[in-house]
Structure 1
Amino acid sequence: MDIIYEIRRRHLVQGQTVSAIARDMDLSRPTVRKYLDVTEDRPYQRQQPVSRQLGAFEDQLTAWLEEDIKLPRQRRRTARRLFEGLQDKGYAGAYDSVQRFVKRWRGDHLGPRLTQAFVPLAFRPGDACQFDWSHEHVEIAGVLQRIKVAHFRLAYSRQMFVVAYPREMQEMVMDAHIRAFEFFGGVPARLIYDNLKTVVDTIYQGKERQFNRRFLSMANHYLFEPVACTPASGWEKGQVENQVGNIREWLFTPLARFTSFAELNDWLAIRCRELGQRSHPTQSGQTIAACFNQELPLLRPVTAHFDGYMEQMLRVSSTCLVRVDRNRYSVPARLAGTAVSVRITAEQVRVVANGEVVALHLRAFGRDELICDPWHYLPVLTKKPGALRDGAPFVAWDLPKPIQAVRDHIMKHPKGDRAFVELLILASETGLEALTIACELALVGGTVNASVVMNELRRLTAPSIPVAINVPDGIALMIEPIADYSRYDHLLEVSHVVH
């Protein structure tokens, strides 16, 4: 601005010509003429350099960005992921070129992002852990699914733990805490949450909350203090909020593929350990794992396991089923029409009657699925043996091949279903393995019927005769009897007349 002022003063006040001003100030005449019309300071705007290193890869990068803009923000690839994708296709340029291109392209198509201000927080070792949920997309057993991921982050050491579930429910929250405390090797003093419906029942003024009773039972078991954030104040647990985005970029982009949730969660635990080898963001020269080792002794040890289940009282139907979360599970037939307690965990469905677990099933997360244990219906077969042919629990019963062969042979004969039911009743006492061996013996012998299999089964399960009997010394005879066979000789002298 000083140069502009000097040019205008010389020309408009002192009357110097453009050529004289250009000669005295060592400027070009076009520059002098340009500044004569300037009356206000024009801020300098840096021009973004045009990336010339992308070359033929610019079209590929643009195509990826056009694909990503159609996706939700959480599923869009970062500049780093796009850079790695270009490297796989042979790109040998720098990351900065890709980053500048992505920033400029998104600015033109999405507009600028607003920056918010936050208050920096500091935490003591062993004091706090932050919790949050996120939804991700993975492929489980060849099926694309939208899953829920529970995030934990120790606020001092920044050690993270994540675990995946099909849904976000109360029993998943408790299971995630049990897994996290086992992973960390202890329990922090406080856990910080959003106002989750699975954690908080009612929000009062300020920090007052009414927590879920079952959740408080878990907190009381592990002796940690639950703390709920102020509504719409995610910065109070900003570490785990930031972790959600990082985990999505590091672990779920591109699409992760696994055969089961168990395999996925095992892999996530391993990756959490590996990510702990990164540098700590605030303690220079130390890794997250090193800070975690300092924090570990200050965590409260876990002394007893917590059974994280949700309980419902349900009535067993006449078909020996209870309905749980849109699916049906079998119960022993003797409990048909009675009320039972159903305890639901993240992985199991347990049916309890009179304080005893009477049925245990792996939990299903589909809809209208039928999960049956054929042994539950065995008492019904004694009265209705015909149900063995078309009964849903028995049609899909995966029996050992020798038993299937014997069943198919017996069922061809009249009243074969009743005969096979008798074998199953006997097997319920002796075990399915013994019945399998008995069927194999019958098939090898060439005579296959219920009587032969039952005879083989009883021979296999009959108690063995002891080889020797150990008699205690205290009951031994002082004088052992001597056998005298001569006393039976008089019987030879008696004559017997047969008429």
Structure 2
Amino acid sequence: MFCLRNQEFMASLKRSMRQIHMAGEKVFVDYAGPTLLLTDRVSGFVRQVQIFVGALGASCYIYAEGHLSQSLPNWIAAHVRMFEFFGSVPAAVVCDNLKSAVNKASRREPVINATYQNLADHYGTVISPARPYKPKDKAKAENGVLIVERWILFRLRKRVFHSLAELNQAIAELLVDLNNRPLQKLPGCRREAFETLDRPAKQPLPASPYQYEEFHKARVGLDYHVEFDRCYYSVPYQYKKQDIELRITASTLEVLSRGRRVASHARQFGIAIVTVPEHMEAAHRHYGLWQPDQALAWAEQVGSHLRQLMAQLLNDTKTHEQGYRLHNMLKGLAKEFGEDRLNPACQRAIEIGATSVSNVRSILRNQLDRWSRLKKNARKPTSSMTMFAAHSTIIEDQKHVKSGNITQIA
């Protein structure tokens, strides 16, 4: 009865096509189902370790290592070390449809993770995901996982490991023994087949090692900054409210718009705001980069009395905004009444103790800035007509002083 049922089951199975793998053509990668354990020396906390496995198509040469998770950084790092272990790069990488490799699984047009695709571009290889729910597409990976489970994981199952480096060292030692074991149906071993078939046919490693990069989509805010990992980075203000792409490495963050780099920053950690002055609008840049030294330098060019008044006013301010407004108000007076009148007006304000911008404006409106000039002229010998004119002007100023507008100044 058993043989009859088995024959019926075998007759119901679909036919399978035998796959022929060319030398140096493909490497099949996957994670093993069983895991190993890491035990903390102090707390005794136990963590599971995921086992990454890669197997070449022609020679069945195997690579394996342990990870704390199947996250994207671990997935990429495993490929880099696998290529270094092989000493060359195959033409294609056949993987499963895990999230670290494929963003959208599809039988015809799968969407590859941008970081994974960037790795493939760096090494000059192609990512070829297996079809969903079709394990026979990566039969070499499944067979390689089975061999690793039998000849490595089974032999390490009772050992206690306290660090990932210690565990990977044990895997590497057993990996040498696994690849040197004689094949059952073929002459030689996996290492000899690799040296004969795959290594000569594969392309060499690139000159520089791969630098890990992540890609994220983002949208520029109204303040022309983008946020990543609680840090804010500036973008040229022309790109506000636009969709962009971030390329992140361990040390840099680049902003890409339609494949073109528009900004680059040193990566920050924690909470930070990074703003490049060239990315700001002119008005924002003028306000954001304003310093009291700029105000004092401008006042020095106009005159010593303006500088003295400016220094006194800035000394009394408590915020950056107050100083910026004082600077702009005095520059407005210089534009309205002229710089040649502003300095004498500041001198008059200092003499009478009316050291505020509104008082300087009142002095200019009522032309009391001439008071200092008339006093200087009065000390010089002049003709009778000039003295009479000066005397008349002083009398006129005194009338203004008695008026309501100037009483509050004097």
TM-score (normalizing by structure 1): 0.40
Please state which structure has a larger fraction of its residues in helix.
2
TM-score (normalizing by structure 2): 0.48
